[in-house]
Amino acid sequence: MFEGAFVAIVTPFKNGNIDEEALRGLIDYQIAGGVDGIVPCGTTGESATLNHEEHDQVIRIAVDACKGKVAVLAGTGSNSTHEAIELSQSAEKAGADGLLQITPYYNKPNQEGLYQHFSSIAGNVDLPIILYNVPSRTSVNMDPETVVRLAKNKNIVGVKEASGSLQAISKIINDCGKDFTVLSGDDPLLWPILAIGGKGVISVTANILPIKVVAMCKAVANGNIKDARSLHYELMDINETLFIDTNPVPVKAALHLMGKIGSELREPLVSLSSDHLEKLKKVMASHGLPVIK
């Protein structure tokens, strides 16, 4: 269920509120682009600034818009185990297909703390769980040995890996077995991770170029190494440019330039500098993406 191209979808805002019409439009664009699933309320969805009501609202919208079409992997993580359980249970009631669980941020738990945190969540929901390791955001790295240990839980079916360590990712793939799903959490490393046995991606770039990200995943699945490598280099500049500032600032700016959402961000995030905006426009134009005046 959680293999292939998933998009870490942005949360569009209008006058301080969730822009439901724009969110549904984005989801329709992703489905038309061939993605395998939608990931609402992740880092790219500005989950850290959503209150519980908004968090539930975004997931409900995604579930309704995706019903019968693609899977919904709902971001329901927190640095509070109790809060993560509450958010996960709400997503389960809303009809999500699975849960994305980030490592607790700020608290900096040790490996045993990580194991207990994820085990507690898994013990309080019935949905499959994808772990999320992103030390650049959380200041804590989940060791491969901890992932292997957690993989023994029937509810924990995979991990989104954004540690940047191909060695660690290789160990997870090798030691967790073929039934455990490893997804890339870094667009620039998608091709290398697929090459060593990863099964897909939760992508930022797919917000604006879903067809290309889908094509890379399918190329690898079909054993077409030449096309996969070509797509890797084709997307290299856009993958880099979407991280010239804190995610999701650049990708929301790109979607705004494409006329798909408003420009609104939640503080403390602020808009791109004029220099970064011009760079983004040039790279988008080179990929044939529409840029409104």
So which residues are the catalytic ones?
A: 132, 160
Which residue in 70, 65, 64 sits closest to 26, CA to CA?
A: 65
By three-state DSSP, how is residue 204 classified?
A: coil
Percent of the chain that is helix, strand, coil (3-state, to 5)? 50, 15, 40
Could you say which DSSP state residue 271 is in? P
Distance, CA of 109 to CA of 204 (rounded, Å): 27
E strand or H helix at 198, and its extent?
none
The type of residue at 99 is L
Backbone angles phi, psi at 130, to 5 degrees: -105, 120
Helices (H), the chain: 20-32, 52-66, 81-94, 111-122, 135-138, 144-150, 166-176, 190-195, 210-221, 225-234, 236-241, 249-257, 274-286
For residues 204 and 177, give the distance between their C-alpha atoms in angstroms, rounded to a whole number.
Answer: 27
